[in-house]
Structure 1
Amino acid sequence: MGSYRNIHHTNGGDEPENEQFPVSRPLGAVFILLGGTLILLFGAALSIALGAADIKLSTVWNALLHFDSKNTAHQIIWELRLPRTVSAILVGACLAVSGAIMQGMTRNPLASPEIMSVTDGSAFAVAVAFAFFPGISSLGLLGWSFAGAGLGAAIVFAVGTLSKGGLTPVKLALAGTAVGTLLRALSSAIAIHFDVARDVSFWYAGGIAGMKWSSVELLAPAAALGLVLVFFIARSVTILSLGEEVAKGLGQSTKTVKVIGVASVVLLTGAAVSVAGTIGFIGLIIPHIARFLAGVDYRWIIPCSAVLGAVLLLCADICARMINPPFETPVGAVTALVGVPFFLYLARREGRGL
C-alpha cells in the first residue's frame, strides 16, 4: 500500500480528527503513465482495426503513414475509425480528470461529474437546445452543454451549502442525486412534449459511434483549456484535499481554487457531454485508482487520471462494438457494468464511517 503520514486537522467540530494520507509515490505514477500510454497506443490500434469491417494492423499503419484516398480501407480509417478513437481518448481523459478535481475539492470519494449532476445539467441543456432551437450547430450545442454543466454544479453546491449543518460529503452526494433525478425528469418531459426524444435518448445512452473530425475539433480546444486550468491548481487541490482549515492555515485561497476548479470541471465535462452524451462512472472509478497507485499529490493524480480514463473508455468502446456485432452497444452501458459495483462498494465503505 506504500508509506503513509498522519495529517492532524479539525472536522468542523470541537474534536480534532486524525486521518492517514498516502504520501506521493512518483514511481507508481511513472508506472501508470508509461504503462498506460503503451496500453493506450495498443488499444488505439485495435480500436481502429476492429469493427464491422475488420482491418489488418499493417493496413492501419500504412494508412497513417501513406494515406491513399482511393483505398476504401484507408477512407474508413481516416474518416470513421480514427476520429472515433481520438474522441474516446479525449472524452475519457476529460471525465476522469473532472472526477479527480471534484473529489479533491470536496473531499468526497463519491464525487464525480455524473453523481454531482454536472452531466445531467449538461444533458438537460442539450435537451432544451434540441427543443427550442432545432437545427442548432455543433458549436451552439457545445455552448449549451457548458451552460448546463455549470447550472447542474451550481444547484447542487447551493442546495448542499444552504442545508442545515453546511456542506458535507454525504449532503453533497444526496443533493447531487436529487438534482440529477430532477434534471433527468425535466429532460424527459421536454423530449416527449417537443418530440425530440430520439435525439435526447442518444445523450443519455452515451456513445462515441459516428464521431467525425468536426467533433474532435470542438472537443480538443475545450479539453486543452480545461487541462491547463487543472494543472495550474494541481498543487492547491492537493492542499485543499487535506481539509479546508488546513488549506487556509497554509495561506491557501480556497475560494479562488474552487472557482478555477469548478470552471475546469464545467469545461471538461461540458465538452465531453456535448459530443458523447452522458457516459457514467469514469470520473468516479479512475481517480481512486490513480490515488491508490500515485499517492495524494494531484500533480501526479491528474495526468494519471487522464491516461487511465482514456484507456478505460477506449477499452469500453472496443467491448461495446464486440458484444453484439454488427450492432452497437451503448458504451455507457459497458462503463456502468464496472462502475455500479464500484460505486456500491464505495457507498458501503463510506457508510460505515458515518
Structure 2
Amino acid sequence: MPLTAGAAAEPESEPAARTGITARGTLARGAGLVVAAGALLILALASVWFGSKGIPFLQTWDLLWHADGSDASVVIHEYRIPRTILAVLVGASLGLAGALMQALTRNPLADPGLLGITMGASTGVALALTYLGITTVLGYVWLAFAGAAVASVVVYALGSAGARNATPERLVVAGAAVTAVLFAVNSGLMLTAPDAFEEFRRWQVGSLSGRYYDVLWPVLPFMAVGVVAALLLMRPLNALAMGDDLGRALGAHPDRIRIAGAVAITLLCGAATAAVGPIGFVGLAVPHVARFLAGPDQRWVLPYSLVLAPTLLVGADLVGRVVAPPAEIQVGIVTAVIGVPVFLVLCRKRKLTSL
C-alpha cells in the first residue's frame, strides 16, 4: 500500500514542480528586466550630467528640477535632456524593430536594414537634399519616413508576388534587392549634387548631435504607435514561430501578423532613422542579448529589447560625448566600435538562438 500511494502521488508532484520552476523563471526574468531598466535610468541621468561643458553633479541635480535660466540650465534643459530622451526613443525603436524582423523572418542575422527600410529613409533624405533643397532635419525627416514606408510596401509586394504568402525567405530576397537598387540611386543622386553631399554625409553616419525638441516631437507619435503595435504582437509571434500551419491551428493569422509586423517595423525604424540617421548593430545584436538573458519567448524578448537597446545607445552617445571634449564622436561610430566585438564574443561563446 505505501508503494501504491507513493506511486499515485508521484504524478501529482510533477506539475507542482514544473509550476515552481516556471514561477522562479518568471521571477528571474522580471528581476533582470528591472535591473536593466535601472541601468538605463542611471545612464540617462549620467547623460544629462556629463558633456563637453562641465557642470557639477549637485548643480545638475538641482537644475534638473528647478530651471533658473542660467547657461547651465539652458544646456541641461534645451540640449542634454531632449538629446537623452531622443536616444532612449531611438534605441527602443531600433531594438524592437530588430527583434520583430528576426522573429518574422526567422533569420537570426536580420536587422532593420534587411527589408530596405533604412535605405528607403536614406533615399528620402537624398531626394530632399538634392531636388528640394531641404537641409534641416525638421524638413527632411518627413521625406525620410515616407521613403522608409514606401520601401517597406515595395518589399512586401515583391515578397508576396506570385504566391499566396509572403514567406520569410521571399521577404529577405526582396529586401536585399530593394536595398541594392536604392543604394545605387542614392549614389547617383549625390554625384549629381556635390553641394548636398556634406549634409547627407553627416546624416548618414548616424548622429544625435543637433537633434533636440524640434526633431523629437515630430517623430514621437510614430515611435509611440510602433512600440504599442510591437508589444501587441508578443503572443502572436510565439504562435508564428511554430510554423504557419500549427500557428493557424492555434488561432493565429500568419499573414495578418506579418502585415502588422511590417507596419510596426516601418514606424519604428523609419522614424528612428529619419530622426538621427542609420545606426547599425543595435537592431541586430540586442535581440540576441535579450534571448540570451530571457530565452526565446517573445513575451520577454521584446520587453528586454525595449530596455537593452536604449541602454546601449545612451551609453554609446555618452562615451562619444566625453571621450574627446570639446569634440564628440558620432553615436553610429561608437555603437560599431563597442558593439561589434561584443557581438563577436557572443557568437563565439554561444550559438545563435534558433528562431
Task: Give the counterpart letter for 2:49 in structure 1.
Answer: A
Counterpart for residue 5 of structure 1: none
Aligned equivalent of 2:285: 285
- What amino acid is the match of 1:115? L
Q: What TM-score does the superposition give when structure 2 sets the normalisation length?
A: 0.83
The answer for unaligned runs of 5 or more in structure 2 is 1-21
1:100 match: 99
User: Are the equivalent residues in 2 in contact too, given 1:90–1:219 (CA < 8 A)?
Assistant: no
Q: Which residue of 2 aligns with 1:83?
A: 82
CA distance in 2, matches of 1:45, 1:160: 44
Q: Which has the larger radius of gyration?
A: 2
Question: Which secondary structure does the structure 1 equivalent of 2:327 belong to?
Answer: coil
> How far has the Cα of 1:91 moved from its partner?
0.3
Structure 1 residue 46: deviation in Å? 1.4
Matched, 1:126 2:103: no
Specify every segment of 5 or more residues in structure 1 that has no aligned partner in the other structure, as ranges. 1-21
Task: Return the offset for 1:117.
Answer: 2.3
Partner of residue 197, structure 1: 197
Residue type matched to 2:246 in 1? V
Contact 2:138-2:214 at 8 Å conserved across structures: no
Aligned-residue offset at 1:29: 3.1
Within 5 Å, give how 1:337-352 maps onto structure 2.
337-341=337-341
Kept in 2: contact 1:49–1:55 (CA 8 A): yes
Q: For each residue in 1:323-342, what CA deviation from the matched residue of structure 2 results, as whole angstroms up to 9, or x when unmatched?
A: 33222212111112244456
RMSD: 3.0
For 2:128 and 2:23, the matched residues in 1 are separated by 46
TM-score (structure 1 length as normaliser): 0.83
Look up the match of 1:248. 248
- One-letter identity of the residue aligned with 1:97: L
CA positional deviation for 1:276: 0.5
Partner of residue 179, structure 1? 178
* 1:304 to 1:107, Cα distance in 2 relative to 1, 3 A: same
Take 1:256 and 1:167, find their aligned partners in 2: how far apart are those partners?
11
Compute the displacement of 1:303 (Å). 1.7
In structure 2, the partner of 1:148 is 147
Matched pairs, number: 329
User: Deviation per CA, 1:180-234, whole angstroms, max 9, x where unpaired?
Assistant: 3432232122123123111211221001011211212122211111111112222
Residue 221 of structure 2: aligned partner: 221
> What percent of counterpart residues are identical?
37
Alignment of 1:301 onto 2:296 = no
The Cα of 1:137 is off from its aligned counterpart by 6.9
- Tell me, yes or no, if the aligned pair for 2:94 and 2:283 is still in contact at 8 Å: yes
Q: Aligned AA for 2:54?
A: D
The answer to which structure has the higher helix fraction is: 2
Looking at structure 1, the residues matched to 110 and 293 of structure 2 have their Cα atoms a distance apart, in angstroms, of 19
1:47 deviation in Å? 1.0
C-alpha distance in 1 between matches for 2:188 and 2:344: 29
2:6 alignment partner in structure 1? none
Instruction: Show the counterpart of 2:274.
Output: 274
C-alpha displacement of 1:110: 1.0
Q: Is the 8 A contact 2:230 2:264 kept in 1?
A: yes
2:38 corresponds to 1:57: no
Which deviations, in whole Å up to 9, do the C-alpha atoms of 1:278-313 show, x marking residues without a partner?
Answer: 001111111111122122232222221111011000
Distance 1:341 1:118 in 2: 25
